Homo-oligomer: A and B are copies of this chain.
Amino acid sequence: MAVTEEDTPKTPGDARRAPLSDAGLATLDRYWRAANYLAVGQIYLLDNPLLRSGLTLDHIKPRLLGHWGTTPGLNLIYAHLNRVISTRDLDMIHITGPGHGGPATLACCWLDGSYSEVYPDVTRDADGMRRLFRQFSFPGGVPSHVAPETPGSIHEGGELGYALSHAYGAAFDNPSLVVAAIVGDGEAETGPLATGWHGNKFLDPVHDGAVLPILHLNGYKIANPTVLARLPHDELDALLRGYGHRPVYVEGDDPATVHRALAAALDDCLDEIARIQRAARREGATERPRWPMIVLRTPKGWTGPHTVDGVPVENTWRAHQVPLSGLRENPGHVRMLQEWLRSYRPDELFDEAGRPRPELLGFVPEGDRRLGSNPHTNGGRLLRGLPVPDVRDYAVEVASPGATAHEPTRVLGGVLRDVMRATADRRDFRLFGPDETASNRLQDVYQATGKGWQERMLPVDEHLARDGRVLEVLSEHNCQGWLEGYLLTGRHGLFSSYEAFIHIVTSMANQHAKWLQVSRDLPWRMPIASLNYLLTSHVWRQDHNGFSHQDPGFIDHIVNKDPRTVRVYLPPDANCLLAVASRVLGSRDRINVVAAGKQPCPDWLGIDAAVHHLDRGVSVWEWAGTDTGREPDVVLAAAGDVPTMEVMAAAWLLRRHLPKLAVRVVNVIDLMRLMPDGDHPHGLNDHGFDAVFTADKPVIFAYHGYPWLIHRLTYRRRGHDNIHVRGYMEHGTTTTPFDMVVLNNMDRYRLVMDVIDRVPGLALSAIGVRQQMKDKRNEHRAYIREHGEDMPEVREWTWS
């Protein structure tokens, strides 16, 4: 969309110039006390939420769980964000890196009413407060961290490292949005977060929103000081300036002082953001701005117990989780807990009915402006269907199977280019990759958009553009985090990666799968676009980079996740990749893994056949087999482009050398079809499986990845004992493509030998053919070692 005047945040003169008034300070402080009270209540209380009677063990949870240490800081920030949203009418969301502090976000959503709107039984009164407390970290209740269940969140707080990349992902192509990204000083030690700062080199102040990092230095992790909190000031300051920011420092342990300083800092930063955006949008400034950020240094576990049993707790690592424990054994601790809760003066905060008093809600925004209700945090509310063109228009002609060859990803590039074109105004589709978009042959997209880049540009650079929607950075963590943030705020995208290195984000994919799994069961969370991986430069064709680049195990990893969420596609040729792309780009709430090569690959199916093949997931390629009208003697199955080529070549050899053998050729494009229908929604039922693979004939199966995955998917099938799988056996190096399949025993000659070894009766009758295959195989190996390339008959082989 064109950026309009309205997209640029307002900076009302009043808010900018007037410092926080005493009344405003009182409002903020009351809100903060209320949120802190509600957080402590969640950690400790089963009942007696308003302390209307003396606290006893009966009111206290048997298992005390939760992270107190970060909570008061999160509440403080939330209170102040409310203020700037209200005074400036900001479109703002927040990302809580220290999402372990779940009680804070839950308290604040409850205070602004967002919580009760999506969970009507947790009302904003005494009874609702009791439920809010009881459910926290309680069986059948809500998790202890910020999670999909938490309104206003797009960020799980369990695994640390992704706050900044999620924030940038949310800000891209959302010119009116400000994303407040709270970074904990523990999280700041992680690798993903450490490179997350570089997101600002890719943020276009014209078409993207703003990210306001708030580095919260509370000093301690579980048991240690944090690195950033202990750096000398000059070093910390240099680091943050080196990250491209202008840091504004807020420090202290006196609430009033900190309130004033934080309010001023936020006003300063938001004025600066508005100035930057005006300069870029109206005055045409093109130099990358030095965006402001806040460093907030407050005590860990602030306002909690100062010492417990003679040991300092507040402002130490001991405040990390539950500062007062062993309540059953220490009646004194029950009293301390009561004092702690009362120190917030709950009667000033909640009325008779337990409702928050209006005096503390003065800065709480209305409706969708609330942090707990901003629609960007429930991206499905904003999602529009992606205008994917009819992929038939991009199909390659297939006059006869295997007669021509195309680079599948290059063909896909045309589709992606036109999706880019169709979304030029909407700007809700992006491509992410670690410096490999062109290497992966998708470069046609550059006809429609550039690579986003805010640094200097030189004449030698190609396709760089301030407003480009391809994002390339040599960090799979940033690519993944940006894409997640982009999807979770209601947009679409694709991550193309070398297959081996997608393992770098295994853990992030885990967490996203968990997010989707949980969200699926929350009626108020609307479906979002799927996370699509294009794994190319795959295991079989990294013959030039060698062993470190040869690893197909990400598929094994992803199939461990919720079957409703994960899909794996192995298109055998260019048209099949088009069909798959069309499906995955239109899907919702999934993680789609597509493994497809970038090297020339024989064209097997016309586009209609390809679409039909994908619809079936597994097809018998009758035209390729010799079992027409009869029971097959053997099934030759393939999943993946290179396996398909070897299987087709084996079928061709069998047709020539053993013409009487009834060979059935099967191709698997949707790997989940192999699972039983009870285990996966795409699974074939047993009847369907047997109809394709037979219940009792030998199946020689060539698979793209580790062969045992096929056994793991099919172990319950009737004919399982007859399935013999060839695949990647972790043998690799820098060598030729054909040598790679030979090294791993997946070459055409080996497959023919497997058929001869497995079909009853052939061992003797085809002994000569077997020897020929063996000789041929050795001849190839010798040739490769002599000449350094594959024999022409492999390179030039066609099926037809």
Q: Are B553 and A557 in contact (CB under 8 A)?
A: yes
Complexed CA–CA distance, A785 and B137 (Å): 11
Contact flags A514-557 to B (C-beta < 8 A → 1, else 0): 10011000000000000000000000000011111101010011
Q: Are A544 and B63 in contact (CB under 8 A)?
A: yes
Distance of A787 from chain B, by nearest CB (Å): 6
Q: Are A236 and B242 in contact (CB under 8 A)?
A: yes
Q: Are A474 and B187 in contact (CB under 8 A)?
A: yes
Q: Are B511 and A473 in contact (CB under 8 A)?
A: no
Which residues of B sit under 8 angstroms from A461, Cβ to Cβ? 224-225
Which residues of B sit under 8 angstroms from A237, Cβ to Cβ? 242
Q: Are A156 and B548 in contact (CB under 8 A)?
A: yes
Complexed CA–CA distance, A650 and B156 (Å): 36
Distance of A631 from chain B, by nearest CB (Å): 24
Which residues of B sit under 8 angstroms from A197, Cβ to Cβ? 194
Which residues of B sit under 8 angstroms from A453, Cβ to Cβ? 224-225
Contact flags A192-232 to B (C-beta < 8 A → 1, else 0): 11111110010000000000000000000111111100110
Which residues of B sit under 8 angstroms from A242, Cβ to Cβ? 235-243
Complexed CA–CA distance, A316 and B226 (Å): 40
Tell me if A436 is interfacial: C-beta within 8 Å of chain B.
yes
Interface size range of chain A in the complex: 35 or more
Given contacts A435-B221, A460-B312, A546-B147, contact A507 B517 (CB under 8 A): no
Q: Are A139 and B551 in contact (CB under 8 A)?
A: no
Distance of A443 from chain B, by nearest CB (Å): 9
Q: Are B223 and A561 in contact (CB under 8 A)?
A: no
Tell me if A325 is interfacial: C-beta within 8 Å of chain B.
no
Which residues of B sit under 8 angstroms from A472, Cβ to Cβ? 223-224
Distance of A536 from chain B, by nearest CB (Å): 14
Complexed CA–CA distance, A570 and B694 (Å): 38
Tell me if A159 is interfacial: C-beta within 8 Å of chain B.
yes
Distance of A63 from chain B, by nearest CB (Å): 6
A451 and chain B: residue at smallest CB distance: B224
Q: Are B458 and A544 in contact (CB under 8 A)?
A: no
Contact flags A177-192 to B (C-beta < 8 A → 1, else 0): 0000000001101111
Which residues of B sit under 8 angstroms from A715, Cβ to Cβ? 708, 711-712, 715, 720
Tell me if A301 is interfacial: C-beta within 8 Å of chain B.
no
A195 interface neighbour in B139, B190, B317, Cβ under 8 Å: B190
Complexed CA–CA distance, A195 and B186 (Å): 12
Tell me if A437 is interfacial: C-beta within 8 Å of chain B.
yes
Given contacts A238-B241, A241-B238, A474-B160, contact A144 B503 (CB under 8 A): no
Chain B CB count within 10 A is highest, among A501, A547, A734, for A734
Which residues of B sit under 8 angstroms from A190, Cβ to Cβ? 191, 195, 474-477
Q: Which of A404-460 contact B (CB under 8 A)?
A: 435-439, 451, 453, 455-456, 458, 460
Complexed CA–CA distance, A142 and B518 (Å): 48
Q: Are A518 and B547 in contact (CB under 8 A)?
A: yes
Q: Which of A734-755 contact B (CB under 8 A)?
A: 734-736, 739
Tell me if A788 is interfacial: C-beta within 8 Å of chain B.
yes
Q: Are A139 and B784 in contact (CB under 8 A)?
A: yes
Distance of A342 from chain B, by nearest CB (Å): 24
Contact flags A61-79 to B (C-beta < 8 A → 1, else 0): 1110100000000000000
A201 and chain B: residue at smallest CB distance: B227
Q: Are A435 and B239 in contact (CB under 8 A)?
A: no
Complexed CA–CA distance, A482 and B560 (Å): 29
Complexed CA–CA distance, A735 and B138 (Å): 6
Which residues of B sit under 8 angstroms from A192, Cβ to Cβ? 191
Distance of A554 from chain B, by nearest CB (Å): 9
Complexed CA–CA distance, A187 and B231 (Å): 25
Tell me if A161 is interfacial: C-beta within 8 Å of chain B.
yes
Complexed CA–CA distance, A240 and B242 (Å): 7
Q: Are A191 and B189 in contact (CB under 8 A)?
A: no
Which residues of B sit under 8 angstroms from A226, Cβ to Cβ? 474
Complexed CA–CA distance, A224 and B460 (Å): 10
Which residues of B sit under 8 angstroms from A239, Cβ to Cβ? 238-239, 241-243
Complexed CA–CA distance, A630 and B55 (Å): 60
Q: Are A547 and B187 in contact (CB under 8 A)?
A: no
**Given A190-B476, A317-B460, A506-B507, 17 more pairs with CB closer than 8 A:** A144-B546, A187-B474, A189-B474, A189-B478, A190-B474, A190-B475, A190-B477, A194-B194, A223-B437, A224-B453, A227-B455, A231-B244, A231-B455, A237-B242, A241-B242, A510-B551, A517-B730
The 8 A-B residue pairs whose C-beta atoms are closest, nearest first, are: A158-B548, A239-B242, A191-B191, A194-B194, A503-B507, A230-B455, A238-B242, A189-B474
Between-chain CB contacts (< 8 Å), 15 pairs: A137-B546, A138-B734, A139-B739, A140-B735, A142-B734, A143-B734, A159-B501, A161-B504, A190-B474, A222-B436, A230-B456, A235-B241, A238-B238, A315-B460, A510-B551
